[in-house]
Amino acid sequence: FVSFIQKNEQIDAEVIKPNNLVKLSVDVMDLNNLLGLEIGDNAIIANAPSFIPSTIHFWDGTTLAVNGNYKTLDTTKIKERNGQDANGFKYNEFLIPVDKPIRALDFDVKFKHKGFTGYRLDSVNKIAKVDGGQIELLSNQNGEVKISYPQVMDKRIGETHGFYKNGEMLKNSGRTSYSVPTIEMIEWLKKTLTTYQKAVDLIDNKELKSKQEVDAYLAKKLLKKPAQSDKKAFAKTFYAGPVDHIMIYVENSKPESATKKVTLKLHKDDRESFNEGYFVAKDSKNNKYGIVDAKGNWIVNPTYDDIRAESEGKFSVYQNRIGRVRKLDALNKKFVDLSD
């Protein structure tokens, strides 16, 4: 599927003439919110999204299609901590050949995730067959709905919604869940206990005299343990009224491909890069800093070691490791002392 979403405060964009450097860095929680996903960290890490710049929005109100005209500086990295996938991602840094300040970027975000499928259960259709087992509606009385499913599906079971006959959704007032062994597991436990009790009697009567004899006896007498997948889980959901049918959502076992068009804006509180329509810019030829306007024209030539925007037209200007706050005189294209 393809969908569109807007988010603020997600990218850093540095004006480096003749290119802009765009830095994109998110963690797992940001990524969940950004893509509208409700899947675990491991699923996201296993299917790390690909961010592809598509359209640039400039501060002067114009836009430009990227059309693949950019360079990726860093490949996507997944940091590891203590041998486990960490919660932090560092995504690509993009060098885009434009020399006007960037305000926002559209990305095509390509990723894979496990979507959800909804199943309807009612008084006629009480069983839904799902990959991995089946879900059964056991009872539906006085707003209390009880279902069962294989315990191995427990983490895949999502939301359950109850509905009136007219299709109106009922308010959910609570949910409980528990699991119990299957009849096969209970029978196996009983027979296993009997076998161990018999082994103790044989040891007491000195009919089993060594560890090897005990191990051989148990290997011969103990029955094979039933598969854990046979264990049943049960869930009760309570609704504020009589339920005609329910919709239960189950996470699909196989991931599906998806693309979301995402607009990411420059940090709103990033005052180190722009001030009242003027922007700190770096000349890649001499690695010096100056000031440009929204169209990318030099207002103050790049001759300074560093510049940081402050407020009310003021900038911290650094030269030879010494910095002081100065005011921008845009008309005369220079910095002036505050006392002037």
Q: What is the pLDDT of residue 48?
A: 66
Residue 1, number of CB atoms within 10 A of its CB: 8
Distance, CA of 323 to CA of 340 (rounded, Å): 17
In sequence order, what are the residues at sequence separation of 6 or more whose Cβ sits closer than 8 angstroms to the Cβ of residue 30? 10
For residue 319, the SS3 value is strand
Residue 189, number of CB atoms within 10 A of its CB: 13
Directed axis angle between helix 211-221 and helix 183-204, to 10°?
150
Cβ atoms of 107 and 51 closer than 8 Å? yes
Residue type, 261: K
Task: Assess whether the previous peptide bond of 18 is cis (omega < 30° from 0).
Answer: yes
Q: What is the pLDDT of residue 214?
A: 92
Q: What is the pLDDT of residue 8?
A: 45
Q: What is the pLDDT of residue 75?
A: 53
Per-position pLDDT tens, the chain of length 340: 233 334 444 677 888 888 888 887 666 666 767 777 654 444 555 556 788 999 999 989 999 999 999 988 765 544 443 344 444 455 678 889 998 888 889 999 888 777 788 999 999 999 999 987 899 999 999 899 999 998 888 888 888 999 999 999 998 888 888 887 778 888 888 999 999 999 999 999 999 999 999 999 999 999 988 776 567 888 999 998 899 999 999 988 887 788 888 888 876 545 556 667 888 889 988 999 999 998 999 999 999 999 988 877 889 999 988 889 999 898 899 999 887 6
Distance, CA of 31 to CA of 93 (rounded, Å): 17
Strand ranges of the sheet holding 116-122, from the earlier edge strand across to the other edge: 116-122, 245-251, 157-163
Q: What is the pLDDT of residue 91?
A: 64
Q: What is the pLDDT of residue 2?
A: 32
Q: What is the pLDDT of residue 229?
A: 57
Domain range annotation of the chain? 2-114+256-266, 116-182+227-251, 183-221, 274-336
Cβ atoms of 164 and 244 closer than 8 Å? yes
Distance, CA of 88 to CA of 296 (rounded, Å): 34
Nearest of 47, 51, 20 to residue 264 by alpha carbon? 51
Distance, CA of 230 to CA of 18 (rounded, Å): 64
Contacts of the segment 303-312: beta carbons below 8 A, 24+ positions apart: 307/280, 308/272, 308/280, 309/271, 309/272, 309/273, 309/274, 309/275, 309/278, 309/279, 309/280, 310/271, 310/275, 311/271, 311/275, 312/276
